[in-house]
Amino acid sequence: MNELPPFILFFVAALLVLVTRGFIRNLVLLMAPVIGGLHLWFNVEPGIVMSHSILTFELVVMRTDKLSLLFGYLFCLASFISSIYAWHIKDQTQQLAGLVYAGSALGAVFAGDLITLFIFWELLALSSVFLVWARGTERSFNAGFRYLIFQVVSGVLLLAGALIHYHNTGSLAFDHIGLEGIASWLIFIAFGIKCAFPFLHSWLTDAYPEATVTGTVFLSAFTTKVAVYSLARGFSGEEILVYIGVAMACFPIFYAVIENDLRKVLAYSLINQVGFMVTGIGIGTALALNGAVAHAFSDVIFKGLLFMSMGAVLYRVGNINGSDLGGLYKSMPRTTALCLVGALSISAFPLFSGFISKSMVMSAMIEENFDYLWLLMLFASAGVFHHAGIKIPYFAFFAHDSGIRTQEAPTNMLIAMGLAAALCIFIGAQPQYLYSLLPWEVDYWPYDTTHVLAQLQLLFFSALAFVWLNKKCMYPPELHSTNLDVEWLYRKLVPKIFRQCLYFLQQTKKSVVSMTLAPVHKISHTFSKTSVAKYHLSESWPTGSMVFWIAIILALYLLVDIFA
């Protein structure tokens, strides 16, 4: 029993979803992560390796250690909370996709070889895109199609890198790879796409806001975290990740501040938070890696809570633009309070989950003498408070009274948000329980005077800056617009170039045809004025004459054929 891969439970549950209805189906959706989580907690220990031979390959479908087990617990927990949040959904497509998606994430983190990882890598892509398409709009279809292209390209690069790696080393084992050749770089870029590296990130900010209300909650939990796990497994200590992570933490702030769609603000914020994880993986010390993994655990919960609160607003109001909301605390007080817990957590307030994990990464940067980069990460931390800690709850619930009066979020949504909020507070107040699960030895305590006072000062002055900018009318206004970043290249520039090329080819074709036919028309026109054309060719020939001349031509042909 201890060698049963947990993804099998989710795939079996997905099959049951196909043949059940109503309450029984919803019960299956809840029990899959519960049974999977209990199985991992009580039956599975580090050191289990289960493999199967296929042709000449040894595929390791389950390899357990403290790193994979922590992500296994996290994904079961995230699936459970997301399933409660989606309890009211009757759409079989979304329910099936959610189970396969969560099971694929579990399969990826327990994969012990690159081919098994590739299989679940692609299943992640194929199952998750239906959570975008299920919204049923033209925008969601186009966004999902672009999302799928990125995900498939990532899988192709992973497979190519795995095969080259096998050719070079004779091994498919998924352990530390390092950047030492074309194979490792292909795998690195494949991980980078799913991790939303700069210039490879637009699939996330494009597709997540277009997914269904519940689909976005699932999406926020799995894809990027599988990529973070994969980087921690295969590329820890690679210094290039420090610089990539700092860039990821900083650049989304500028787009999030000007964005009107509050779910897209959270999508940018998701990249920002993954930047802290990538930075910790790049530093590569025990403290930094523990910080990266702990922050992944915390982020799934508090980012899920924020996506759930905005999803509840979208579900009740039908709109998620900050310019059209405001005053909703009167109609949705419980959702407002739970959203504030998520905002405090992502902002790393003391006694909330973000503080106990983000501070580990920041401390590791100081210990390893990344002083200038630490200042940039400090700027990124202040930016998080601006766009996620303040902007999200302020424009959704408090900015002005939009006059919207609606019902509170459904009970199942409130229960899911309540569980996530309770975990945010519990982890933040009692970090030793999460620390005990971390893969490397922990010798760190976040609640010393220096850490607490420094973070409170940062948050205080960030809040002061927000208030001052608003009072001076200098804060970017919420406008009805679609903001593009690097996706402008393929949504605007590439189509424009394609249209220009097509127009050029059409004009070239017309010119060539015109140049070719002009002499023919001239010869035809000149010949039409000759006496032969004017009198002899234009007159009607009797049938007898035509037959006579055809007979002469045939006779000449026979003579030539006989004597030649």
DSSP structural state of residue 46? T
What is the C-alpha separation between 308 and 323, in angstroms, rounded?
A: 20
Contact 105, 222 (CB under 8 A): yes
Tokens of 536: 């002899």
Tokens of 523: 């010869």
Distance of CA 218 to the CA centre of its chain: 11
pLDDT digits (tens, 9 = 90+) for 13-34: 999 999 999 899 999 999 999 9
Q: What is the pLDDT of residue 526?
A: 73
Closest to 137 measured CA to CA, from 202, 209, 185: 209
Contact 160, 187 (CB under 8 A): no
Tell me what the mean pLDDT of segment 200-221 comes to.
Answer: 95
* H/E run at residue 34: helix 22-43
Contact 397, 352 (CB under 8 A): no
113: alpha, beta or left? (left if phi > 0; alpha if psi -120 to 50): beta
pLDDT digits (tens, 9 = 90+) for 503-555: 888 888 888 877 877 776 777 667 566 665 555 545 555 666 666 667 778 87
Tell me what the mean pLDDT of segment 115-140 comes to.
Answer: 96
DSSP structural state of residue 25? H
What is the C-alpha separation between 312 and 195, in angstroms, rounded?
A: 27
- In degrees, rounded to 5, the angle at the alpha carbon of residue 486 between the alpha carbons of residues 265 and 288 is 65
Q: What is the pLDDT of residue 555?
A: 77
Q: What is the pLDDT of residue 540?
A: 54
Contact 162, 118 (CB under 8 A): yes
What is the C-alpha separation between 496 and 194, in angstroms, rounded?
A: 27
Q: Is the pTM of this model over 0.95?
A: no
pLDDT tier for residue 309 given thresholds of 50, 70 and 90:
very high
- Share above pLDDT 70 across residues of the chain, in percent, rounded to a whole number: 93
* Chain mean pLDDT for the chain: 90
- Going by C-beta distance under 8 Å and a sequence separation of 6 or more, which residues neighbour residue 490? 146
* H/E run at residue 77: helix 66-85
Tell me what the mean pLDDT of segment 59-70 comes to.
Answer: 95
Distances (CA, A) of 251 to 255, 272, 273, 381, 384: 7, 8, 12, 12, 11
What is the C-alpha separation between 406 and 410, in angstroms, rounded?
A: 12
Rounded (to 5) percent helix, strand, coil in the chain: 75, 5, 25
* 441-447: Cβ within 8 A, 24+ apart: 441/286, 442/286, 442/290, 443/287, 444/287, 444/290, 444/360, 444/363, 446/355, 446/356, 446/359, 446/360, 447/350
Tokens of 113: 């070889």
What 3-state DSSP class applies to 57? strand
Cα dihedral angle (220, 151, 136, 417), rounded to 10 degrees? -10
Q: What does the DSSP assignment read for 360-424?
A: HHHHHHHHTT-HHHHHHHHHHHHHHIIIIIIHHHIIIIISS------PPPPHHHHHHHHHHHHHH
Contact 274, 215 (CB under 8 A): no
Backbone φ, ψ for residue 83 (5° rounding): -70, -35
- Going by C-beta distance under 8 Å and a sequence separation of 6 or more, which residues neighbour residue 200? 150, 189, 192, 193
Q: What is the pLDDT of residue 489?
A: 80
Q: Which residue has the tokens 């893969």?
A: 439
pLDDT tier for residue 57 given thresholds of 50, 70 and 90:
confident
pLDDT digits (tens, 9 = 90+) for 336-384: 999 999 999 999 999 999 999 999 999 999 999 999 999 999 999 999 9
What is the C-alpha separation between 299 and 71, in angstroms, rounded?
A: 12
Tokens of 519: 């002499």
Contact 110, 73 (CB under 8 A): no
What radius of gyration do the chain's Cα atoms show?
A: 32
What is the C-alpha separation between 81 and 75, in angstroms, rounded?
A: 10
Contact 409, 335 (CB under 8 A): yes
